[in-house]
Amino acid sequence: MSKIREAFQSGKAFIPFITAGDPSIGDTERFIQTMAESGADLIEIGIPFSDPIAEGIVIQEADIRALAAGTTTDLVFDMVSRVRGKVAVPLVFMTYLNPVYHYGYEKFFTRCEEVGISGIIIPDLPYEEKADVDGPAAAHGVELISMIAPTSEDRIRMIAKEAKGFLYVVSSMGVTGMRRNIRTDLPSMVRAIRDVTDVPCAIGFGINTPEQAKKMAGIADGVIVGSAIVKIVEQKGKDAAPEIADYVRKMKEAAEEAAD
Amino acid sequence: MMSRGRFGEFGGQYVPETLMNELIRLEKAYQHYKNDPEFCAELDDLLKNYAGRPSLLYYAERMTKDLGGAKIYLKREDLNHTGAHKINNCLGQVLLAKKMGKTRVIAETGAGQHGVATATVAALMNMECEVFMGKRDTERQALNVYRMELLGAKVHPVTSGTQVLKDAVNETMREWAGRVDDTHYVLGSVMGPHPFPTMVRDFQSVISKEAREEILKREGKLPDAVLACVGGGSNAIGMFYHFINDRGVKLIGCEAAGRGIETGQHAATMATGTRGIFHGMHSYFCQNEYGQIDEVYSISAGLDYPGIGPEHAYLRDSGRAEYVPVTDEEAVSAFEYLAKTEGIICAIESAHAVAQAIRIAPAMRRDQVIIVCLSGRGDKDVASIAKYRGVNINE
């Protein structure tokens, strides 16, 4: 069983996201440890990109701060390599295709394997274009995680059939960011996925309260939270660890309640 | 040459899953309507009776004599309604959106010409219209912002990133991903994910269709070279398209070298860019060693884009077209030259192509012919040119 699948074995998974290099790469290293110690089952590490078209304002600004602080793909790899020895949970990257393409697919995934990255999420890489990336990723044991959106409809089966790691179910139209209400018919999306695959499903985009986490975990196998955590870093900077710990603990507990 | 939206290895469809079904629907609708006689007749009628096509092919006699070489013709896209080639694409796309049952259009704009053209056609077709424009561009093109508002559009100044054209594209993509049901994104250039580069090219190809027919009538032969400025590349592909198979016709794209390639302050994607995958397409981009997109610069807000349409990347790499950098200074000089020599104030974007004509015409024979695409008129640029020359005109 893949390391990512294992993360979904003990109840509902809580998956936090953090932008690497915000406010500094050393801080990100500490925050990853904090999140792992506070109950995160899998951690998404964002490699910052200058033009993140699927992100709302919170993560856009984190990317800008991280790049302004001098964050590079190589520095992110080095950081992952250091933190890998300190945390047991699987680590996956989330980034845009251009930084990966520019690094070189083969070289990028070789480095992923060396530092212990288990998967990658690339929002601007849809099903039709994934072959060029999936080959090199798979060759180095990195699972290319697919996304399913509220507009996917007839595409759900096609995408789910080839899913690896877990399926990232996008809760809402638009971009990442905290939302008060999520109106998409997620139960029927998850049912359509279940028809063709037993790969775990995690819901992301817009989730920020424990109530939402509990509700979403009731529908799927896990919950992904990005902007709410990045917002804590935006507000507290290098001192964000205690608040991140509280938040992750609270959200993990809420997700677990759905399993009862 | 093209399969699944590819030009050689360039192009593609690199967008979030949320937009994929919408792009597929758009492609199907476009494939259907482009062969629908009723749609084509309606579009032709609009181009003729609303936009004022065909645009003139004007023989620039004083300029020709002054330069003493090749005969220079100007394809007067600046005389179209709204003052630029952008209307060709907007009429096509907004009409298509209407047929698809959309009630709202959104668009990015750099200099404001595409925003104005979109707002114009939206007003004509009674559609809601919202335009995203980098905050810095709203400041240097304030007149166009007001023009769009007069036309009933809502203009959103984009404050994210570098606050120019690429950021406006990012923001319009984000907006579209949030609302596709009733909304069409009228992309303004031959860029972005398939089917945009093909569809926009088709709508702009009317430029070379007319120019080719007209020059054959007037000169009894094909031109030796056709020139156009390139940012994303829509007027250039429009000017090139019907000449691509005429191997003897040189195709020359003129990109913005800003303060000079060596200064790093430019938008010369072909001269300095590397391959990348961004804004939905595989093409060339100005970017750093880690694939972070560069901030680019040009005096011209319309050429201030860090990438180029995928068909241009293909035409360059296959050797069919060449792309040359033109600096702010050369463009401004050409802008002034054309005004004084021919009495035409052209867009600062188009002046990049005029500058290249000034460079190459003198060394050509008098029986040779070049056509320069005058993509837009220059009213919008007068204030910034004055500023560039240190003239205070109190605006």
Residue at A15: amino acid letter: I
DSSP state, residue B303: T
Q: How confident is the model at residue B142 (pLDDT cuts 50, 70, 90)?
A: confident
Residues paired with residue B258 on neighbouring β-strands, in sequence order: B327
Task: Check if B287 contacts A (Cβ < 8 Å).
Answer: yes
Give the Cα separation of B52 and B33 in Å (integer): 23
DSSP state, residue A48: P
State which residue of chain B sits closest to A59, comparing Cα positions: B160
Give the Cα separation of B328 and B394 in Å (integer): 22
Cβ-proximal residues to B139 (8 Å cutoff; 6+ apart), any chain: none
In this predicted model, what pLDDT tens digit does every residue of A175-231 receive, in sequence order? 888 888 888 899 999 999 999 999 999 999 999 999 999 999 999 999 999 999 999
Give the Cα separation of A99 and B289 in Å (integer): 9
In this predicted model, what pLDDT tens digit does every residue of B168-180 receive, in sequence order? 999 999 999 999 9
> Residue B44's CB: how many other CB atoms inside 10 A?
13
Average pLDDT, chain B: 96
Give the Cα separation of B300 and A136 in Å (integer): 41
* C-alpha closest to that of B97 among B124, B70, B79: B124
- Does B108 participate in catalysis according to the annotation? yes
What pLDDT, on the 0 to 100 scale, is given for residue B1?
43
CB proximity under 8 Å: A 40-79 to B: 49-51, 53-54, 56-57, 60, 64, 67, 72-74
- Does B375 participate in catalysis according to the annotation? yes
DSSP state, residue B395: -
% of chain B with per-residue pLDDT over 70: 99
Task: Please check whether residue A60 is in contact with residue B160, taking contact to mean a CB–CB distance below 8 angstroms.
Answer: yes
Q: How confident is the model at residue B394 (pLDDT cuts 50, 70, 90)?
A: low
**Least CB-CB distance to A98: which of B19, B179, B276?**
B276
From start to end of chain B, where are the E strands? Answer: 2-3, 6-7, 10-14, 57-59, 71-76, 104-109, 128-134, 154-158, 183-185, 225-230, 250-258, 274-278, 280-285, 321-327, 369-374
Give the Cα separation of B80 and B347 in Å (integer): 13
DSSP string, A143-169: EEE-EE-TT-GGGHHHHHHT--S-EEE
What pLDDT, on the 0 to 100 scale, is given for residue B3?
59
Residue B221 has pLDDT above 60, yes or no: yes
What pLDDT, on the 0 to 100 scale, is given for residue B162?
83
Residue A79: what are its φ and ψ, rounded to 5°?
A: -65, -45
DSSP state, residue B364: S
What pLDDT, on the 0 to 100 scale, is given for residue B189?
97
Chain B positions touching A73 (Cβ under 8 A) are 290-291
Mean pLDDT of B70-83: 98
Mean pLDDT of B348-352: 97
Residue ranges for chain A with pLDDT beneath 70:
260
> Residue B86's CB: how many other CB atoms inside 10 A?
32
Altogether, the residues listed in chain A come to a count of: 260
Catalytic residue (choose from B71, B75, B86, B102) = B86
Task: Check if B3 contacts A (Cβ < 8 Å).
Answer: no
Cβ-proximal residues to A15 (8 Å cutoff; 6+ apart), any chain: A40, A41, A42, A43, A44, A202, A204, A222, A223, A224, A225
DSSP state, residue B243: G
Task: Check if B166 contacts A (Cβ < 8 Å).
Answer: yes
Residue B395 has pLDDT above 70, yes or no: no
Residue B202 has pLDDT above 50, yes or no: yes
Task: Please check whether residue B67 is in contact with residue B356, taking contact to mean a CB–CB distance below 8 angstroms.
Answer: no
Give the Cα separation of B264 and B281 in Å (integer): 24
Is residue B101 helix, strand or coil?
coil
- Structure tokens, B80: 């179209």
Residues paired with residue B57 on neighbouring β-strands, in sequence order: B75
Task: Check if A207 contacts B (Cβ < 8 Å).
Answer: no
ipTM of the complex: 0.97
What's the Cα-to-Cα distance from B19 to each of A123, B23, B38, B48, B158, rounded to whole Å?
11, 6, 28, 34, 21
Q: How confident is the model at residue B164 (pLDDT cuts 50, 70, 90)?
A: confident
Chain B positions touching A151 (Cβ under 8 A) are 17-22, 180
**Least CB-CB distance to A152: which of B21, B174, B290?**
B21
Is residue A128 helix, strand or coil?
helix
Residue B259: what are its φ and ψ, rounded to 5°?
A: -85, 10
What burial class does residue B301 get, using C-beta atoms within 10 Å of its C-beta: 0-12 exposed, 13-18 middle, 19+ buried? buried
Mean pLDDT of B230-259: 98
Handedness of CA B103, B109, B112, B117 (dihedral sign): negative
Is residue A74 helix, strand or coil?
helix
**Least CB-CB distance to A153: which of B21, B174, B278?**
B21
What burial class does residue B246 get, using C-beta atoms within 10 Å of its C-beta: 0-12 exposed, 13-18 middle, 19+ buried? middle
Please report where in the chains the tokens 């994910």 appear, as a residue: B193
Task: Please check whether residue A15 is in contact with residue A223, taking contact to mean a CB–CB distance below 8 angstroms.
Answer: yes
**Least CB-CB distance to A50: which of B22, B177, B292?**
B292
Instruction: Please give the model's pTM, rounded to 2 decimal places.
Output: 0.97
